[in-house]
Structure 1
Amino acid sequence: MYLEYICPPMPHLIVAGRSIFRPGDIHERRVLTDIFDLIVVEKGTLYMEEDGYQYTLNAGDYLILVPNKRHKGFRPCLEETHFSWLHFSTTGSFGLEFSSKQQKRKRMNHRKYYKKDDFSFFISNQAHLNTQQTSFILSIIDRLEEVKIDNPAHEKIFFKPKVDEFEAQRLFLSVLDSIRTQEYFSTDFDIASQIYSYIESHSNQSFSLDTLTEKFSYHKSYIIQLTKKHFGTTPAQLHNQFRLEKSRNLLLKTTMSIQEIAEELGFYDAAYFSKLFKREYHSSPKNYRKDFFAHTERKEDTL
């Protein structure tokens, strides 16, 4: 889904900050009136839900939550998670679209000296950033940071602004431009994002590189090259990551057996599933479930 911003005026920054969540912490439930919330995950995994749609955000992922919709964490963090955020707004209008388009500037004529025609720019509401982009955006937010929410230290800190208002707005627009530029001018990123979304939505099915080549009409080697370039992994590895992430969700939110979870996610046997799970999370599925609930019970006892 793409956010379309109608300008002028351009969106403007309200405040930037950083949050550190402990294992077991969950994002609050809220509705931000007329405020967008751009979240960029630096470390760990954040689980967000907006109007019933769930997003699992790993390091390098961003999400823009739109105003006046209820959002919340749909599950607690399983590890220490660091994420930066920008709250911003616009007094102009915006919309949600299923595709984006690049608008060319119109030629000037004698009737347009004193009034700017409306124009739009589009930003995907969520995507994965490459390493360079993630570092760039996090460095910008660090300069803009005025709030730090540190749950492990049980503190919320407010800082003096590091830059003046004009510079803050310029830096904020550079963040939006970095995301927008990637989408408009990186055709291969758009293709890679489509492949990523397709693999995620079909992760319960058995993986087939032949199916991807037929679906997207590209050679196998090019598809592998794209996913490695933008997501740091092969399509097959992405497929397993999505399945394992879903398995964590089933382990902690259902009473399904390990065998049932393996079958649900298309693993050919429970032993193979357990082997992959332990390789990824350094614990067997059984112990992972046991340790999580033991930690949750200890936390409840201290409250």
Structure 2
Amino acid sequence: MPPRDHFFFPGFFTSFHIWSVLYRNAEKGWVYPNHKHPLFEVLYCESGSMSEWVSGVEYRLAAGDFILINSGTLHYPQAHEESRYFNFHFDVEPREVHSLFRRLHKPIVSSEQPPDVKLEIRKWMDRLIELFQSGKEMSFAQKMMLQSNMLQFLAFILEKIISTDVEAGRGASLSKRQIATETAYLLETYGGSESMQISGLSERLNVHRNYITGCFKEVYGVSPKHYLTKVRIEKAKKLLQETTLSIEEIAGELTFSSAAYFCKFFRTHVGITPSQYRSGITI
């Protein structure tokens, strides 16, 4: 087939947030308290022997093993002997990608993967550790390089491990996909409003609220409430980046009851205040 002499590509937006990175030793018997957070988490056991307990299930990690834990899941690590581990927390947009990760029924563990995939994961982890090991303050260009490497790693995970039947809508009936798609459209269109509740969706679609929630989770992997939170955060970020509206005006635009509540909501889900985000501060 001859090459096309013209093409159109609508473009896409990808945002990858790295919240914290740890590379350290853990003494035998070390345990971190059971906890959960709204971020995805990666733990790589470089040496020694560890466990990650996820929702009461133990996943053993030998040297070279890796685990990816879903957001909002109770978990804690434990060292069975002196070990060295690499750990980071992240979030990723667009929501379609976020939802693919969210639809995982259990953690991704490298020891359960084919040998070639397990080896490639280990290479990626070693590469990322090397980028951090210099101990020097990173330049902005180096931070971009790091983020690029992490995005490539996550793309590898999506392509090689997250199976095609997890993709949005696969396995759901046409009617369920239609309900979920219409719900997503309403959340996207009217999602700046705090008044967009599941009861309102039920009235608009003339479908029971429990059925809407079930269809949405089956297709998108998250609840409508979780999806709406993502929509509101993205709209807030856009207003902070692309307008000169004050924090109070943005809170009003998104129908928060007060600027203080908006700031609390934003900090809870983003990790920094709206003012810090607007000024380019990261954590």
> If the length of structure 2 is used for normalisation, what is the TM-score?
0.44
Question: Which structure shows the bigger proportion of residues in helix conformation?
Answer: 2
> If the length of structure 1 is used for normalisation, what is the TM-score?
0.42
